[in-house]
Amino acid sequence: MLAKPPHAAPGLRIGLMGGSFNPPHDGHLHVAREVLRRVRLDAVWWIVSPGNPLKAGHATPPLAARIAQARALAASEPRIAVTGFEAELGSVFTVDTLAFLRRRYPLTRFVWVMGADNLAGFHRWRRWRGIAPIFPIAVVDRPGWHLAALSSPAASALARNRIPEANAATLPTSKPPAWAFLTGRLSPLSSTELRREIQEMAGP
């Protein structure tokens, strides 16, 4: 079946947030609103992954359930579109997803959005060096990850492609590789901590 992501008209500035969203939470909403405002995006897509290859062995609720939860959370923000189209691509790797979107929407100005914790481990992603040349990247700071992110192998490798935070709004029109590190009010929420709390409440 042909993958059908949301509509993306030529010239639109769209942020792409991928992840398992297990579960989706207000931290995801905070990041989306930050990049909408600071990168001056028209929309943000939450790309709910069928599975995270770096989290093999973890029990993950069905994709449809996670999409429904994400849509319920994002209902108050009309500029967020929730999609599970990645499941139709035959790959769960970000580099393949972004390459697909570039082919399908060559005139749309996409920005890949990730948290500082993702940047810290970016060098472990499949073909990570091939991701930065596809779309510009907005990295949003996370509590406890600032130093680890900025001293990571990926940040070092891409140091000369970093643009000042004050110029983050130029990301959608910047030629990749280009990235900005966005600091400010941080959300302490994480899906990992929420899952742990749910398990503790459920008991043995």
Provide DSSP, 61-103.
Answer: --HHHHHHHHHHHGGG-TTEEEE-GGGGTT---HHHHHHHHHH
As a residue count, the chain comes to 204
pTM score of the predicted model: 0.86
Residue 118, H or E segment: helix 116-120
In degrees, rounded to 5, the angle at the alpha carbon of residue 53 between the alpha carbons of residues 177 and 77 is 65
- For residue 201, pLDDT over 50 is answered with no
Q: What confidence category does residue 58 fall into, taking pLDDT thresholds of 50, 70 and 90?
A: low
- Residue 17: which H helix or E strand, with range? strand 13-19
* 70/191 Cα distance (integer angstroms): 12
Digit-coded pLDDT (tens) for 141-175:
988 899 999 999 999 999 999 999 999 999 999 99
Quick: pLDDT tens for 105-137: 999 999 999 999 999 999 999 999 999 999 999
Residue extents of the structural domains in the chain: 13-202
Cβ–Cβ under 8 Å, residues 11 and 109: yes
Is the predicted pLDDT of residue 63 greater than 50, yes or no? yes
Domain 13-202 belongs to what topology? Answer: Rossmann fold (3.40.50)
Give the 3-state secondary structure of residue 138: strand
Query: What percentage of residues in the chain have a pLDDT greater than 90?
Result: 73
Q: How far apart are CA 197 and CA 192, in angstroms?
A: 9
Q: Is residue 104's pLDDT more than 90?
A: yes
Local structure of 19: helix, strand or coil: strand
What are 72's two structure tokens? 């319920």
Q: Please tell me the distance from the alpha carbon of residue 40 to that of residue 35, in angstroms, as a whole number.
A: 7
Which tokens hold the place of 62?
């069905």
| Contact between 140 and 34 (Cβ < 8 Å) | yes
pLDDT digits (tens, 9 = 90+) for 22-51: 889 898 999 999 999 999 999 999 999 987
The residue to which tokens 């970000």 are assigned: 94
Angle subtended at Cα 27 by Cα 4 and Cα 189, rounded to the nearest 5 degrees = 135
